[in-house]
Amino acid sequence: MKKTFLKKCIGFAAGVAMLAAFTGCGNKDGSSSQKLTKVTMVSPTALASLDLCWLYAADGLGYFEEEGIKLELIECTDGSDAKMLASGQAAFGGFSPAVGLTSIAAGATNVKAIVNTVSCNMFGFAYNKDLGVDSFEKIAGKEIGSLSDSFYVIFDPILAAAGVDPSTVKYITYGSAEYEALARGQVPVMGTWLSEYYMCQGMGYDWGYLSGNDVLPQIANSLWVNTDYEAKNPEIVKKFAKIIQKSMYACYANPEVVADIVLVRYPSIEVTWDGAVGAVKGNVSGMLGIDPKDADAKVAAKEIGFFEMPIVDQTIQNLVAGGALKEPLESSKYYSNEYVTKDIDYAKIDADLAAYEFKSKVYKSSH
């Protein structure tokens, strides 16, 4: 089913720089009952985005303020966010291994991943079913719609693992017009990721999907920290990591509440309710495993956010094989489980979710 083209509402909205600060629910009058410490994070994703549901859930449920943190987000969608983190312009970042490790190889070594926010390869290709490019092999020689000029570092290794020579394809950067380009058949495939694809399904786009995890299983985006900041503020880093783990569980336990939290914060996002919930569910698939059984097992074992180091090593090898890295990096230097914990009170989070009152216009218009 084809629908009227909608404005891009999640993703990486290339070339836009924004900054936003938030402090959590706080008191009913919006004031804070304690002095909050400002902590800055650079985001590779447009701030008005369902892709950041794992951050906004923590804010909407009050978890940042509970720990005395005022989070300030900086939007950086041109692929330079790892460099920004290394330069000290932010304390935390949320980028992919391709972005982080290539920056480290180039000399930005004072960064480290501390929470596994995407435990599988969340990237892949959406394809227009009417144009016949329905397998990796058929992508060879074709044009690929892309949001940013820098995205080839993410998608080239996937193509190579699938047996496609990346030099045979051409990336066409459409920015926020990539949906329209794919739907109109201007390109047969579009580089995408799980949450975006799930959201598109909810919005009525009838596209197929080729999962990068099928040919190149690996981790994707993580929560990264500037190690100079870490050395001076270890307790804040510990609190921040636990907040993210709690928020990831909230996304898993109740995607509807989390979708509403994001839509209340950013009412300008143009999306259907099913699309918004789909985007959160897509995020959960990335966080905890594409197979729901894997996600359930990870939650039961209280392993949300933990890195499996053999998979991290495989990810690094994949980047070497794909040409993004010239030689392997030592995984233990740049990926760590020292800040993640199994001491997460699921029952408290469940109670917070159950007490939540839906407020967004999108929710109210659909119920």
* Dist. CA 234–CA 267, nearest whole Å: 35
Using one digit for the tens of pLDDT, what is the confidence trace for 279-309?
A: 999 999 999 998 899 999 999 999 999 999 9
Fold agreement (19-119+220-362, 123-215): yes
* Dist. CA 278–CA 205, nearest whole Å: 12
Topology annotation, domain 19-119+220-362 = D-Maltodextrin-Binding Protein; domain 2 (3.40.190)
Query: Quick one: tokens of 238?
Result: 């510990």
Q: Domain ranges in the chain?
A: 19-119+220-362, 123-215
* Dist. CA 90–CA 92, nearest whole Å: 6
Residue 320: which region, alpha, beta or left (left: phi > 0; alpha: psi -120 to 50)?
Answer: alpha
Facing residues of 39 across strands? Answer: 71
Token pair 């993004």 is found at 324
Query: In a structure prediction context, what are the per-residue pLDDT tens digits for the chain, which is 367 residues long?
Result: 333 333 333 333 333 345 666 654 444 444 445 789 999 999 998 899 999 999 999 999 999 999 999 999 999 988 899 999 999 999 999 998 989 999 999 999 999 999 999 999 989 999 999 999 999 999 999 999 998 888 887 899 899 889 999 999 999 999 878 988 999 999 999 999 898 899 888 888 999 999 999 999 999 999 999 999 999 999 999 999 999 999 999 999 999 999 999 999 999 998 999 999 999 999 999 999 988 999 999 999 999 999 999 999 999 998 898 788 999 999 999 999 999 999 999 999 999 999 999 999 999 999 9
Cβ atoms within 10 Å of 170's Cβ, excluding its own: 11
Domain 123-215 has CATH 3.40.190.10: yes
Rounded to two decimals, the pTM is: 0.85
β-pairing verdict for 207-211 and 123-128: antiparallel
What residues have CB less than 8 Å from 176, skipping those under 6 apart? Answer: 7, 8, 11, 13, 14, 147
Asked if 26 contacts 59 with a C-beta cutoff of 8 angstroms, the reply is no
Q: Where are the beta strands (DSSP E) in 94-165?
A: 111-115, 123-128, 143-146
* Dist. CA 62–CA 26, nearest whole Å: 7
